[in-house]
A and B are shown apart, each in its own frame.
Chain A
């Protein structure tokens, strides 16, 4: 699942891959008209725009902070405020959702730094959430292992320099391919590839070493 992927070649007639867009033309952006209306001060349009992008922004925030973090909603709101403030400067160089998700990544990473997530820890998972997750396919040990893996990613995002962390977050959390990350961050593809390779290598080390630590904890119990 976590691999450096190439963008699929556009298929003739496949709108989801921009098959209808001629070379050099912008791909379809379903939210473009909402963004344009929001920029002119249409609050209904802006509200619809924020709500439409909400799930993707929430996904990013949860990925960076952890779904059990107490400030998920606050950070989501911060992300929406940031999008609201940045909209007037949005010139449509990329899709609206792409634009907003990048803001959400940066906002969430800043929020995490503010919260002082400097030491490794496993946040307490709400009992109801544990019960739901453990209902059928995850044992308590698996739950702990899963949270440790996610925390390894979050900790790495916190420690990496911003450009590398952003690239890693866009790829791992949102599934952007190398080409998509390059387009979103205005960075050459080879640079993105290099940053991703380094970031994923560090992530593998973290995840594996945390897995080994978990086994040691199990053995010492």
Chain B
């Protein structure tokens, strides 16, 4: 994978939907539509309300002046909280608040605490905001499988993550994502105590030549071999790490383990 491809993966990971996002978005939306408060009681952001409005006015003016051409993008639009607005009644005061410098609209009576009755089209998606670009029947590609597997792992669904990584490696064995998935899958297996299967994944990754995660793969391979009590092979893995990656962050750990293995050999019968 090139550095640019890695940047793409970094951005996906960094900007992915996460726990707490729903509350954050609701908070922001409510703050936009919240009523004015008595002087001295200000809602977020406290110290930047005026700058916020000024920035918003500038952005709005730029958009209005430049104009928007007819779009050709026809992706479906996500609504991540489909159904939840109906499930979670809320009491929101929707009296329109005067934003600084803007005309004040007529006050709107309090809305009863029931969910808004606005039908969202059925063809919107719930998951990623990225538009779907494939037909419904098309099999997921390597990058999509990789993203889904990582999301499952982050969400704690280890079984699903393992299945998706395995599917990715099986279906797209020569892809860059499959190479990365080998290390991820191996670590999942190692964490589950399946040292033999884990060691196989790391070996296959390392057999494919120098990769971005070579150091991690060597460390994990050595740890797998330790659990399998295959001392000579474990020593070889640590030695390979030290010789091929002398400046690795794992070098100290490797040297310590090599010393321990040597002591163990010396103290043997």
Contacts and interface: CB of A to CB of B under 8 A. Distances in A.
Interface of A: 1-2, 7-8, 10-11, 14-18, 21, 26-31, 34, 37, 41, 43-48, 50-52, 54-56, 58-59, 62-63, 66-67, 71, 73-74, 76-78, 80-82, 84-86, 89-91, 93-99, 102-103, 106-107, 110-111, 114, 132-133, 135-137, 139-142, 145-147, 149-150, 152-153, 172-176, 179-180, 182-186, 200, 203-204, 207-208, 211, 218-219, 221
Contacts of B216: 139, 142
Given A89-B64, A103-B60, A106-B59, A114 B51 contact: yes
A197 to B, nearest CB: 13
B33 interface: yes
B247 A77 contact: no
A74 B99 CA distance: 16
Given A18-B72, A52-B78, 18 more contacts: A1-B7, A47-B94, A48-B116, A51-B25, A55-B21, A56-B78, A85-B102, A93-B69, A94-B69, A106-B63, A107-B55, A107-B59, A139-B250, A174-B130, A184-B68, A200-B4, A207-B4, A211-B3
B71 to A, nearest CB: 3
B133 A8 contact: yes
Contacts of A149: 3, 6-7, 10
20 contacts: A1-B4, A1-B9, A1-B143, A2-B5, A2-B8, A15-B74, A27-B74, A30-B124, A43-B33, A45-B116, A51-B26, A55-B25, A98-B73, A106-B62, A114-B55, A137-B184, A142-B213, A173-B11, A184-B68, A204-B3
Nearest to A77: B28
B156 to A, nearest CB: 10
A47 B77 contact: no
Interface in B27-45: 27-33, 44-45
A16 B76 contact: yes
Interface size range on B against A: 35 or more
B79 A52 contact: yes
B32 to A, nearest CB: 5
B51 to A, nearest CB: 7
